[in-house]
Amino acid sequence: MNRRDFLRNAAALGGLALLPPVAAAVPRVIQAKLATASLVGAQYPATRVWAYAGTVPGPELRFRQGERLRVELENLLPEDTTVHWHGVRLPNAMDGVPHVTQPPITAHGGRFLYEFELRDAGTYWYHPHLGSSGQVGRGLYAPLIVEEQEPPAVDRDVTWMLGDWRLDRRARIVEDFGNFMDASHDGRIGNTVTVNGAIREAFQLRGGERIRLRLVNAANARIFALEFRGHDPIVIALDGHPVEPHRPDGGSVVLGPAMRADVLLDATGAPGGKYAVLDDFYPRRAYRVLDLRYAKERLRSGRAGAPLPKLAANALPEPDLARAERHRIEFGGGMMGGMMGMGMMRGMAWTINGKSMPDDSHEHAAPILTLVHGRPFVFELVNDTQWHHPIHLHGHVFRVISRDGQPTRYREWLDTVLIPPRTRAEIAFVADNPGDWMLHCHVLEHQGTGMMALVRVA
Ligand code: C2O
Ligand code: CU
């Protein structure tokens, strides 16, 4: 009799209570609920937030590649919700899109069990996909980390989840979610940037240390461009997927909403030293996110082990560009755009291929495209507006093959591509995951006012 048979027989004989629980069979329950968080420090009152398990960010879920995630969400919020596992290639029914892949998880006690295999290693995150501007903007977001079978050797694996809040003088969330001013411009840009749920003075490190820093932009609308003064961060993965290790263009790591970057940060500063991490994405509005602060003692002399650790690629299907079917997808609207009159009167500010999909009418949505399952596709994404849009496709990962007609240097795999005003990007992928998938802007106020569409793979 092997061990499993033994356990089964013991259970049948009523000995079950004496046996240790089988961990894999028990889903982890996460409650979405009202909570308070000290976002801005002890000199201010705590902020009323909405949070997974009562903390901002919610609990970091960590798995090894190939493991199954089993999480039951219990909704204790006053609104319906869902959970979307951003960037994860999973079966359609687990994607967390209300009315498209599942019914909403009802307010005041609804539950839903999410269960799927984690095929790809990398840095992901989870968040609601219903009333997203208000729900994410009140604090519902958390990291999902999938470790490689053989993770590269680093001294520390650290996640920085970047949040952005609009707070009043008493550190209360300003309840103007969904206002048309934000929606028709660059979204809800706040006034308080947090790292892992609090304003941080410093991040402590020791000379010679090697850190894998997983950066996640969980802001509704703010774009970050992080500059690490006195350091030489190397980008090793984008949106979870390995990329040829490189210095960020222009020296700053740029992250639109929902985007992730894994950077290798070698602590080459002086013992006792202090180096600013700046965000200078918006001209004339640069500020210090925090300081890298060095302990007096070094961890080791000299640099941490060169050469760079290499990440194993995930098994993504390579699109055959010669055979790919091409589609042009246009993003329009916004202030200074063409969308005046009818659309704006209905509270819609943005369009995809001339149409607006309201946040609350998923059940009536017709797909803008039906893709033949298993075929390669190239989408030309055209930003015909004066604003930046981070465009996210569910259920798939795509290569960015060109920007404004120029081939990209790294042909990076992404799930969210930031498209600057009046520019375009070509993405290529194999439509290997059947179902109805969302294609939308991840500025949540743009998503909520029309910049969303459905793509069918069948
Ligand atoms: Cu991170 Cu459709 O979302
Ligand atoms: Cu947008």
For the cut 70, the answer to whether the pLDDT of residue 305 exceeds it is no
Question: Ligand 2 centroid vs 334 CA: distance in angstroms?
Answer: 9
Question: Ligand 1 centroid vs 396 CA: distance in angstroms?
Answer: 12
Question: Ligand 2 centroid vs 354 CA: distance in angstroms?
Answer: 14
The ligand whose atoms approach the alpha carbon of 182 most closely is 2
- Which pLDDT tens digit goes with each residue over 307-319? 776 899 999 999 9
Confidence class for position 346, pLDDT limits 50, 70, 90? low
pLDDT at 372: 98
For the cut 90, the answer to whether the pLDDT of residue 10 exceeds it is no
Confidence class for position 338, pLDDT limits 50, 70, 90? low
Average model confidence (pLDDT) for the chain?
92
Instruction: Output Rg (C-alpha) for the chain, integer angstroms.
Output: 22
87 forms beta bridges with none
For the cut 60, the answer to whether the pLDDT of residue 339 exceeds it is no
Question: Ligand 2 centroid vs 265 CA: distance in angstroms?
Answer: 31
- Which pLDDT tens digit goes with each residue over 201-225? 999 999 999 999 999 999 999 999 9
Question: Ligand 2 centroid vs 186 CA: distance in angstroms?
Answer: 7
- How many angstroms separate the first and last alpha carbons of the chain? 46
Q: Where are the beta strands (DSSP E) in 26-173?
A: 28-37, 47-52, 61-64, 68-75, 84-86, 110-117, 122-127, 142-147, 156-165
- Which pLDDT tens digit goes with each residue over 137-150? 999 999 999 999 99
Mean pLDDT, residues 274-297: 96
Q: Is the C-beta atom of 166 inside 6 A of ligand 1? A: no
192 forms beta bridges with 165
How many Å apart are CA 49 and CA 38, to the nearest integer? 10
Helix boundaries (H) for 314-430: 342-345
Q: Is the C-beta atom of 258 inside 6 A of ligand 1? A: yes
Mean pLDDT, residues 290-316: 88
- Atom 3 of ligand 1 has which residue's CA nearest to it? 86
Which residues have a Cβ under 8 Å from the Cβ of 178 and sit 6 or more positions away?
133, 134, 445, 448
CB 135 within 8 A of CB 81: yes
For the cut 70, the answer to whether the pLDDT of residue 436 exceeds it is yes
* Model confidence, pTM: 0.93
pLDDT at 311: 93
Q: Is the C-beta atom of 444 inside 6 A of ligand 1? A: no
Confidence class for position 337, pLDDT limits 50, 70, 90? low
Amino acid at 310: K
321-338: b (≥16 Cβ within 10 Å) or e: eeebeeeebebbbbbebe
For the cut 50, the answer to whether the pLDDT of residue 30 exceeds it is yes
- Which pLDDT tens digit goes with each residue over 240-270? 999 999 999 999 999 999 999 999 999 999 9
Mean pLDDT, residues 298-302: 88
Mean pLDDT, residues 95-124: 98
- The burial class, CB within 10 Å (0-12 / 13-18 / 19+), for 273 is middle
pLDDT at 128: 98
Ligand 2 is an ion; residues with CB less than 5 A from it? 389, 441, 443, 446
CB 98 within 8 A of CB 107: no
Amino acid at 87: G
Per-residue tokens: 104: 């909403």
